[in-house]
C-alpha cells in the first residue's frame, strides 16, 4: 500500500521510474504471498483449529495463490503491455481483497477505547482496534502499532454530525498482550526514563509503572514552512473559501494568516515553535519524531471557523551535530472525513537547539511588516519566468445565479498572484463567445513541475450599476498538461521518401471496386499476413493458398496474378451462377445501407474472435478489401482453409463502417485537441452527500492554456500572433446543417408495468425540438429506429445536441427513459475532422455513395494547406504528401470497350485514412462510424438506462450542400410461404400392442409448425395400424411467415395477452418443427419423435430411407448444411429423434416461395385444391377399429385364425345336428310306432 502511494507520486515525475517501482512492489507481494503459503501449510503444534479456522486458512491460500498468479501476469506481461494506470487499479484491487481477508470474524479481544472526560462527562473518544496493538514475540505477527507512540484523533460520541471536526489529539503508547509477556511492555519506550520508587499500579504480576520520569530533556525548535495549498474544499456559498491553517505539534499550536476568497491559497509563511521539550534518546527522536497535525479552516465573519480538512506530516529532524541541509517542499494530501480536500505544499523541520549556543540555528529571512516570517529562500521553489497564453473561446450552459440569468459574463484567470481578464460578453444569449480570442501574462513558476501552483478560473457576471456577481470557479491543479514544448522550426526537406503501398493491383486489371463486378471475385480470396500494427496484402489467389505458396518469389507472384486475370473471363459464367444461387438469400434482394451495417457487425465479431486470444486489439483495424487470416502450422489446415474460403465466398464484398462500443468522445479524447472544456462549480462542497453532485455545476468555460518559458526579448512568435492561436479557427457565428441518424437502441430500462417500453425519439438543439412521437415502437426494449433528422443550427448558440428516448403512453404524460448530450461544437472544430466520417471506399452512387460535400482529393488539399505540409503531388499511380509516397490504383475502366478514366479520389481517401502517419499531422481522422452512447436519467445518476447507436453529420452552410441523407429506414420483413409436403414415414417405433395377438403397431400422424407461430400448428391425417412403422400421407402444410434475410431472423408480431393494446414484435430464428405422434382414441396421444430444422442452415437430406440415420443431423458440419432461402425447394429423408435415439424417418419436401408468388400460384392445405395431392395408397391394414369393425375382425382374427374358425364352424354344425337328431329321434320313433 505504501509502495502504491509512492508510485502515484512518481507518476508525476517519470512514468518509467513509477512503472519500475510498481513491478518491484508486485514482486515483493508475490514473494511474501509464497512465504505465507509456506507457513500456512505447516501444522503448528498446540493449536486447536476450529472448522472455520481451517476453512479460512484454505481461503487465504487460494486467494493469495490467485492474486500472486495475477500479479505475476502483470509483471511479466506476456500477452500485451498493460498501461500503468491499469496496473495501479489491479494493485488497488489486491489491497482491497487483502483488507477483506484480514478482517477476522472470530475476534474475541475487545477494542481499546480512549475517552476524554470533562467534569466527569465523556466528551470525545477514539477507538483503537485490538489487532493493531496486540503483542506477539514474532515480529510479522505483531500489531503494526504495538509498542509505538501513535497520534490518535478524538471524535464526538454517537453519530458524527455534518460539522464534524477534530475534537482533540492525544499521543499514546499502547501495548496489549498476554500477562506472560508483561516483561516486554516497556521495551519500546523512549530511553532515558526513570521509574519513581513510590509508584505502584496495584497489579500483582510485574506491575507497570504509573508514570515515567525523564530528567534530561532535549530542546528543539519546529519550523513549519507553510507555502501554499491547492484544490481545497469550497465552504462558502460563492464556491470559494477563506482558508487558514492551524498547525499542532505536541501541546503547541499556531495558525497562519487568512487568504480571502480562494481555493488555492499561497501563505508563504514560516511558523516558529520555540523551546519544544522532547524526551528520550536523540537518535530515536530523529528516527521516530512526533507527528504534526495540520488543520485547515474557512474563516467566517460571523460564527466559528468552519473545518475543511486536515492532514498529518512528519518533520525532518536535524540534530545539533549534523550539518544543516534545507528541506524540500512536498505535497501532503488533505482529507475532510472520507472526502478528498486538496493538497498542502509545505515542509517541516525539527531542529535541535544546542546547549552550548542556543542561538546557533540556521538563519531565517527577516519578517515582514506584520511580523510574519516568509518561507526561507533556500526552501522556496526556484522560480523562473513563464508566459501563460490563454485562449478565451466562450462560456456555455450557464445557469441562473441569485435568481437572475447570466447576461454579461467575464472570465478571470489567476496563477501565483498574477492573472488577467477576458473581454466581457455583451449578450450571452445572442453570442456566448468572447470577442477577444487570446491574451497572455507572465508569472514566476517553480522549475520543478510538481510544485507548480494551481491555476484558477473565475467567471463573474456584470450586472446593473457596475455590480459583479461570482458565477462559478474551476481550479486546475496540474499545469503539466498545458506546458508547450519549444516550437519546431520549418519542416526540413526530406532526403528519403517513405513509400507506402496502399493497395496491390495487377497492371492488367484496372477496374474500381464500385465499377467492376469481377473485382469481387478476387476480393473473396485475399489472404493477409497479420503482423503487429499492420495488415499487408500478400496474394489474391482464387485457389487454396498454402504457407509454402506464400513464400514463393516475387516473379512467381506476378505470373500467378497474370493467370488470375486471364482466367477471369472463363470463370465469369460460373461466378455469375454462383452469385445467383447464393447472393444475399434472394436474387431480388437489393444491397442497401443495412447490408453495410450487418457486414460491419460481422466484421467486428470476426475480428474479436480472431484476436481475442492473441491479445492484440490494435491489429483489428482492417480495411474492407482485406481479409485477415492467421496462418498456422496445422495438419487440418487445408480443411480449415476450404471452410473459411467457402464462408468468404458466401459473404458479399461490401463496404464497411466502424462501430464503436462507446461514444465517439472517448475514442478521440473528447475532441479537446483545440480547446478544453472546464466545469464551473458553485456552492459548498464539504458535505459528503452533495460533494460530487451535478447541482454544483453552474456552467462550462471553453478555453485553453499554453505555458512556456518567457522569451528573453519578451516578443511573441513571428507575426506577433500568440502561439496558442495556431490552428484555431475564428469564433464567429457559423450556420450549420446537422443530420442526426438514430439507428437503434438496446437494453432500455422498462417504463411500463409489464416490463416493456414504447420508445420514441426526441431531439433538442437550442430552441429547436423534434418529437418523433407518432413513430413510436410498441413493446420493445431493443428497438430498431432507423430514423434520420435534419436541423438547421447556428454555432455557438446552438451547440449542445440532446438525444432523448421517451416512453409513449396513451394515458398521462410520456416518461423519459434516458438521454445523452453531445457537444457538436467540439466536433465541428476538431482537428480529427468529426464533421463527416471518412468512408472505407469511394463510390459515386449506390448504397455506399460518398456522403461528404467535398471529395477526398479536395479534403486532402485543404488539410495539407492547413497543416502547411508539402503536397499533395498527384502522379499516375501515386500521391506524395510531405515525406510519404502512397501508391495505388488511379486508372479505372467501367467496361472493356470504354476508355480508361483517371481518378485520384480512391487513393486520396486511402491517404486520408492514414493521415495520422504523416509527419506534421499526427491526428487520426474520424472514419465513417456508428457510436454507441449510454443513456442516463437525472433521477438515477450514474446508472445506465440503455444505449443508443447513432451518428451525426455536420455541413457548413457556406460550403456546397451535400447530397440527400442516407436512407437508414428499417427493412420491412419480407413475406414468405413455406410449403411442406409430408410424403411418407419409415421405421417409426411401434408403441401399441394388440391385446389378442400381441402384435405391435402404431397409429401414426405428423404435426408441424414454425417456432413462434405455434397457433398455426398443422397435422396430417392418421395412418392407422401401421405394423412396420411405415406411414403414407401425401399431406401438405402451408406456413406463411415474415423474414428479414439480412438479419436471418423471422419477425413475429402478436399480442402477449388479451389486454394488450399493441402487438409485440420479436425477432427469432426461423425453425421448422416436425413431430411424429401415435394416435390414441381413449387417452392422450403418445409422442414418438421430433425433427427441428433451422431454415437458414439445416442438414442435407438423405436420398433413401436406408441412408437416413442420426449422423444426418448430429454430425452434420457447415459444409453439409443448406438454406431453404437459397435452395428454394428440397426433398429427401430426415430422422426423427427422441432422447438422442432414432425413432423414425420422414420423407418430406420443402418449397419456399415469396408472398407475391404464393398469391399468384396458391396451393391448398392437406390434399385440397388448388394443386391437390393424391390420396396415399395405404395397405388394407390401415383403418380405425371403431369406424370399421368388420375390417378389424377380418384382418386381426380371420387372417390369423382362419382354419381354426372353419373347423370350429364345422364342429358347431355337427354338434347342432347331433343335438337336433337326438332331440327329435325319440318323437319320430314314437310317431312312427303309433301311426304305423
Q: For the purposes of burial, counting CB atoms within 10 Å of the CB of 978, is it exposed (0-12), middle (13-18) or buried (19 or more)?
A: buried
Same domain, 1161 and 1085: yes
Write 518-523 long-range contacts (CB < 8 A, 24+). Answer: 518/568, 518/572, 518/575, 519/653, 520/652, 520/653, 521/568, 521/571, 521/575, 522/564, 523/625, 523/627, 523/653
Which of 16-20, 547-551, 1028-1032 is the most confident on average?
A: 1028-1032
Same domain, 689 and 777: no
Mean pLDDT of the region 897-916: 89
509, pLDDT greater than 70: no
Q: What is the pLDDT of residues 383-407, one digit of tens each?
A: 899 999 999 999 999 999 888 999 9
Domain boundary among 47, 77, 101: 101
Same domain, 942 and 918: no
1050, pLDDT greater than 70: yes
CA dist., res. 483 & res. 445, Å (int): 12
Q: Give the pLDDT score at 164.
A: 59
Question: Does residue 140 sit within a domain?
Answer: no
329, pLDDT greater than 50: yes
More confidently predicted of 645 and 129: 129
Same domain, 1015 and 1155: yes
Mean pLDDT of the region 324-347: 88
% of the chain at pLDDT higher than 90: 38
Banded model confidence at residue 547, pLDDT cuts 50, 70, 90: very low
**Candidate from 297-306, 745-754, 1209-1218 with smallest mean pLDDT:** 297-306
Q: Give the pLDDT score at 1185.
A: 53
Domain boundary among 323, 351, 380: 380
Question: Does residue 410 sit within a domain?
Answer: yes
Mean pLDDT of the region 629-636: 35
Q: For the purposes of burial, counting CB atoms within 10 Å of the CB of 488, is it exposed (0-12), middle (13-18) or buried (19 or more)?
A: exposed
**Candidate from 51-60, 188-197, 581-590, 666-675 with smallest mean pLDDT:** 581-590
Same domain, 261 and 332: yes
Banded model confidence at residue 189, pLDDT cuts 50, 70, 90: confident
Domain that holds residue 1222: 1201-1236
1143: CATH: 2.60.40.150
Q: What is the pLDDT of residues 523-546, one digit of tens each?
A: 333 333 333 333 333 333 333 332
Question: Does residue 222 sit within a domain?
Answer: yes
Q: What is the pLDDT of residues 351-362, one digit of tens each?
A: 998 887 777 788
Question: Does residue 166 sit within a domain?
Answer: no
Domain boundary among 101, 130, 165: 101
Q: Could you tell me if 539 and 527 are in contact, meaning their C-beta atoms sit under 8 angstroms apart? A: yes
Question: Does residue 254 sit within a domain?
Answer: yes
Same domain, 1013 and 1152: yes
Question: Does residue 942 sit within a domain?
Answer: yes
Banded model confidence at residue 206, pLDDT cuts 50, 70, 90: low
Same domain, 1005 and 1134: yes
| CA-to-CA dists, residue 63 to 36, 93, 634, angstroms | 12, 12, 38
Mean pLDDT of the region 1125-1129: 91
Banded model confidence at residue 1195, pLDDT cuts 50, 70, 90: low
Residues 6+ positions from 761 with CB-CB distance below 8 Å: 742, 770, 772, 775, 785, 787, 789, 803, 804, 805, 806
Banded model confidence at residue 46, pLDDT cuts 50, 70, 90: low
Mean pLDDT of the region 838-851: 92
| CA-to-CA dists, residue 603 to 323, 560, 621, angstroms | 70, 28, 10
Q: Could you tell me if 893 and 510 are in contact, meaning their C-beta atoms sit under 8 angstroms apart? A: yes
Q: Give the pLDDT score at 196.
A: 75
User: Grid coordinates standing for 283?
Assistant: 537518535
**Candidate from 96-105, 157-166, 556-565, 819-828 with smallest mean pLDDT:** 556-565
Banded model confidence at residue 154, pLDDT cuts 50, 70, 90: confident
Report the 10 Å Cβ neighbour count for 437. Answer: 20
Please state, rounded to an integer, the average pLDDT across all residues of the chain.
Answer: 80
Same domain, 759 and 775: yes
Same domain, 777 and 717: no
Q: Give the pLDDT score at 549.
A: 34
CA dist., res. 725 & res. 707, Å (int): 13
Q: Give the pLDDT score at 945.
A: 94
CA dist., res. 864 & res. 952, Å (int): 25
CA dist., res. 1061 & res. 1063, Å (int): 7
User: Grid coordinates standing for 976?
Assistant: 414468405
What b/e readout covers 279-288, taking b as 16+ CB neighbours within 10 angstroms? Answer: bbebeebeee
Question: How many structural domains comprise the chain?
Answer: 8
Question: Does residue 899 sit within a domain?
Answer: yes
Q: Is beta strand 759-765 parallel, antiparallel or unpaired with respect to 800-807?
A: antiparallel
Mean pLDDT of the region 819-846: 93
Q: In this structure, what are the phi and psi dihedrals at residue 180, rounded to the nearest 5 degrees?
A: -65, -20
Sheet strands (E) in 463-608 = 468-476, 498-501, 526-531, 534-540
φ/ψ bin of 533: left (φ > 0), alpha (ψ from -120 to 50), beta (otherwise):
left
| CA-to-CA dists, residue 32 to 44, 87, 143, angstroms | 19, 19, 17
What 3 state SS string does 1022-1044 have? CEEEECCCCEEEEEEEEEEEEEE
Question: Does residue 207 sit within a domain?
Answer: no
Same domain, 324 and 410: no
Same domain, 375 and 388: no
Same domain, 962 and 1017: no
Amino acid at each position: 500500500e505504501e509502495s502504491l502511494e509512492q508510485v502515484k507520486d512518481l507518476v508525476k515525475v517519470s512514468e518509467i521510474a513509477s512503472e519500475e517501482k510498481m513491478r518491484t512492489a508486485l514482486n515483493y507481494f508475490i514473494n511474501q504471498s509464497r512465504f505465507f503459503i509456506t507457513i500456512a501449510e505447516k501444522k503448528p503444534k498446540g493449536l486447536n483449529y476450529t472448522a472455520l479456522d481451517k476453512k479460512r486458512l484454505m481461503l487465504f491460500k487460494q486467494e493469495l495463490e490467485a492474486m500472486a498468479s495475477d500479479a505475476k501476469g502483470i509483471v511479466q506481461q506476456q500477452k500485451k503491455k498493460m498501461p500503468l494506470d491499469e496496473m495501479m487499479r489491479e494493485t488497488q484491487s489486491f489491497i482491497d481483497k487483502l483488507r477483506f481477508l484480514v478482517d477476522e470474524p472470530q475476534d474475541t479481544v475487545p477494542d481499546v477505547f480512549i475517552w476524554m472526560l470533562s467534569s466527569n462527562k465523556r466528551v470525545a473518544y477514539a477507538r483503537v482496534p485490538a489487532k493493531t496493538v496486540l503483542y506477539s514475540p514474532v515480529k510479522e505477527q505483531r500489531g503494526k502499532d504495538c509498542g509505538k507512540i501513535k497520534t490518535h484523533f478524538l471524535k464526538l460520541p454517537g453519530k458524527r454530525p455534518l460539522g464534524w471536526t477534530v475534537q482533540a489529539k492525544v499521543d499514546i503508547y499502547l501495548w496489549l498482550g498476554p500477562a506472560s509477556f508483561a516483561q516486554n511492555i516497556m521495551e519500546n519506550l523512549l530511553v532515558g526514563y526513570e521509574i519513581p520508587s513510590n509508584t505502584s499500579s496495584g497489579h500483582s504480576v510485574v506491575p507497570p509503572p504509573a508514570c515515567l520520569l525523564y530528567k534530561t530533556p532535549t530542546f528543539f525548535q519546529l519550523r513549519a514552512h507553510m507555502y501554499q495549498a491547492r484544490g481545497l474544499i469550497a465552504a462558502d456559498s460563492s464556491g470559494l473559501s477563506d482558508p487558514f491553517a492551524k498547525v499542532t505539534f505536541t501541546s503547541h499550536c499556531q495558525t497562519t494568516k487568512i487568504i480571502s476568497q480562494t481555493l488555492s491559497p499561497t501563505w508563504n509563511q514560516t511558523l516558529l515553535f520555540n523551546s519544544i521539550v522532547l524526551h528520550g534518546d536523540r537518535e530515536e527522536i530523529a528516527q521516530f519524531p512526533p507527528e504534526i497535525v495540520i488543520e485547515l479552516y474557512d474563516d467566517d465573519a460571523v460564527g466559528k471557523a468552519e473545518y475543511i480538512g486536515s492532514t498529518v506530516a512528519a518533520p525532518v529532524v536535524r540534530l545539533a551535530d549534523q550539518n544543516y541541509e534545507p528541506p524540500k517542499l512536498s505535497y501532503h494530501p488533505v482529507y475532510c472525513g472520507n472526502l478528498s480536500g486538496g493538497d498542502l505544499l509545505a515542509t517541516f523541520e525539527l531542529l535541535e537547539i544546542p546547549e552550548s549556543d542556543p542561538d546557533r540555528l540556521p538563519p531565517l529571512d527577516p519578517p515582514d511588516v506584520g511580523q510574519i516570517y516568509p518561507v526561507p529562500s533556500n526552501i522556496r521553489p526556484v522560480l523562473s519566468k513563464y508566459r501563460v497564453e490563454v485562449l478565451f473561446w466562450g462560456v456555455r450552459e450557464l445557469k441562473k445565479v441569485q435568481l437572475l440569468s447570466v447576461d454579461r459574463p467575464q472570465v478571470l484567470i489567476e496563477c501565483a498572484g498574477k492573472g488577467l481578464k477576458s473581454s466581457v460578453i455583451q449578450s450571452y444569449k445572442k453570442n456566448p463567445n468572447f470577442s477577444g480570442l487570446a491574451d497572455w501574462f507572465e508569472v514566476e513558476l517553480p522549475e520543478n513541475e510538481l510544485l507548480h501552483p494551481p491555476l484558477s478560473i473565475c467567471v463573474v457576471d456584470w450586472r446593473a450599476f457596475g455590480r459583479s456577481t461570482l458565477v462559478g470557479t474551476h481550479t486546475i491543479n496540474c499545469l503539466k498538461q498545458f506546458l508547450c514544448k519549444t516550437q519546431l522550426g520549418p519542416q526540413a526537406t526530406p532526403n528519403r521518401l517513405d513509400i507506402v503501398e496502399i493497395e496491390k493491383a495487377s497492371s492488367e486489371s484496372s477496374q474500381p471496386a464500385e465499377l467492376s463486378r469481377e473485382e469481387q471475385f478476387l476480393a473473396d480470396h485475399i489472404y493477409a499476413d497479420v503482423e503487429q500494427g499492420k495488415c499487408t496484402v500478400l496474394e489474391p489467389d482464387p485457389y487454396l493458398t498454402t504457407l509454402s505458396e506464400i513464400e514463393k518469389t516475387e516473379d512467381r507472384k506476378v505470373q500467378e496474378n497474370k493467370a488470375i486475370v486471364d482466367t477471369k473471363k472463363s470463370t465469369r459464367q460460373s461466378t455469375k451462377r454462383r452469385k445467383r444461387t447464393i447472393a444475399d438469400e434472394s436474387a431480388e434482394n437489393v444491397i442497401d445501407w443495412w447490408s453495410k451495417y450487418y457486414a460491419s457487425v460481422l466484421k467486428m465479431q470476426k475480428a474479436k474472435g480472431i484476436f481475442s486470444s492473441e491479445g492484440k486489439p490494435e491489429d483489428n483495424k482492417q480495411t474492407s478489401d482485406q481479409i485477415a487470416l492467421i496462418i498456422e502450422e496445422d495438419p487440418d489446415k487445408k480443411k480449415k482453409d476450404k471452410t473459411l474460403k467457402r464462408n468468404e465466398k458466401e459473404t458479399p464484398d461490401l463496404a464497411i463502417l466502424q462501430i464503436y462500443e462507446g461514444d465517439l468522445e472517448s475514442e478521440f479524447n473528447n475532441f479537446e485537441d483545440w480547446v478544453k472544456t472546464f466545469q464551473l462549480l458553485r456552492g459548498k462542497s464539504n458535505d459528503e452527500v452533495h460533494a460530487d453532485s451535478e447541482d454544483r455545476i453552474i456552467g462550462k468555460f471553453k478555453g485553453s492554456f499554453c505555458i512556456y518559458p518567457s522569451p528573453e526579448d519578451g516578443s511573441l512568435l513571428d507575426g506577433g500572433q500568440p502561439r496558442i492561436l495556431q490552428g484555431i479557427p475564428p469564433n464567429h457565428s457559423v450556420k450549420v446543417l446537422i443530420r442526426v441518424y438514430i439507428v437503434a437502441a438496446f437494453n432500455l430500462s422498462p417504463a411500463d408495468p409489464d416490463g416493456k417500453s414504447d420508445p420514441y425519439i426526441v431531439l433538442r438543439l437550442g430552441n429547436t425540438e423534434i418529437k418523433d412521437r407518432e413513430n413510436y415502437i410498441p413493446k420493445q426494449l431493443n428497438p430498431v429506429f432507423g430514423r434520420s433528422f435534419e436541423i438547421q443550427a447556428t454555432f455557438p448558440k446552438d451547440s449542445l445536441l440532446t438525444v432523448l428516448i421517451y416512453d409513449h403512453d396513451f394515458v398521462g404524460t410520456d416518461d423519459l427513459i434516458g438521454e445523452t448530450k453531445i457537444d457538436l461544437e467540439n466536433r465541428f472544430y476538431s482537428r480529427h475532422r468529426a464533421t463527416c466520417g471518412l468512408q472505407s471506399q469511394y463510390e459515386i452512387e449506390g448504397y455506399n455513395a460518398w456522403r461528404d460535400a467535398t471529395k477526398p482529393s479536395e479534403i486532402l488539399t485543404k488539410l495539407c494547406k492547413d497543416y502547411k505540409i508539402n503536397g499533395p503531388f498527384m502522379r499516375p499511380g501515386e500521391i506524395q504528401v510531405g515525406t510519404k509516397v502512397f501508391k495505388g490504383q488511379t486508372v479505372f475502366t467501367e467496361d472493356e470497350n470504354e476508355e480508361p478514366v483517371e481518378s485520384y479520389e480512391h487513393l486520396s481517401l486511402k491517404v486520408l485514412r492514414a493521415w495520422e502517419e504523416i509527419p506534421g499531422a499526427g491526428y487520426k481522422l474520424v472514419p465513417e462510424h456508428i457510436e454507441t452512447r449510454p443513456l442516463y436519467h437525472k433521477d438515477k445518476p450514474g446508472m445506465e438506462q440503455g444505449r443508443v447507436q447513432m451518428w451525426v453529420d455536420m455541413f457548413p452552410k457556406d460550403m456546397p450542400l451535400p447530397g440527400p441523407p442516407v436512407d437508414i429506414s428499417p427493412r420491412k420483413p419480407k413475406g414468405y410461404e413455406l410449403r411442406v409436403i409430408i410424403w411418407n414415414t419409415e421405421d417409426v417405433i411401434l408403441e401399441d400392442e394388440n391385446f389378442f395377438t400381441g402384435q405391435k403397431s402404431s397409429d401414426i400422424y405428423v404435426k408441424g409448425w414454425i417456432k413462434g407461430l405455434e397457433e398455426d400448428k398443422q397435422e396430417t391425417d392418421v395412418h392407422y395400424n401401421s405394423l412396420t412403422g411405415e406411414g403414407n400421407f401425401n399431406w401438405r402444410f402451408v406456413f406463411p411467415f415474415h423474414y428479414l434475410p439480412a438479419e436471418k431472423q423471422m419477425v413475429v408480431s402478436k399480442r402477449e395477452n388479451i389486454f394488450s393494446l399493441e402487438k409485440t414484435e420479436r425477432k427469432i430464428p426461423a425453425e421448422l418443427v416436425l413431430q411424429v405422434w401415435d394416435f390414441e382414441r381413449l387417452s392422450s396421444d403418445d409422442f414418438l419423435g421430433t425433427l427441428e430444422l433451422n431454415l437458414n442452415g439445416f442438414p442435407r437430406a438423405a436420398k433413401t430411407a436406408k441412408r437416413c440415420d442420426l449422423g444426418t443431423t448430429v454430425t452434420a458440419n457447415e459444409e453439409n448444411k443448406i438454406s431453404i432461402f437459397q435452395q428454394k425447394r428440397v426433398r429427401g429423408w430426415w430422422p426423427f429423434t427422441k432422447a438422442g435415439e432414432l425413432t423414425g424417418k420422414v420423407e418430406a419436401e420443402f418449397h419456399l416461395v415469396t408472398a407475391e408468388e404464393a398469391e399468384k400460384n396458391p396451393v391448398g392445405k392437406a390434399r385440397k385444391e388448388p394443386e391437390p395431392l393424391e390420396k396415399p395408397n395405404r395397405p388394407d391394414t390401415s383403418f380405425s377399429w371403431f369406424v370399421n369393425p368388420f375390417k378389424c375382425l377380418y384382418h386381426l382374427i380371420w387372417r390369423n385364425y382362419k382354419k381354426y374358425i372353419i373347423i370350429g364352424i364345422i364342429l358347431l354344425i355337427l354338434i347342432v345336428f347331433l343335438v337336433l337328431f337326438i332331440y327329435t329321434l325319440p318323437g319320430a320313433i314314437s310317431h312312427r310306432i303309433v301311426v304305423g
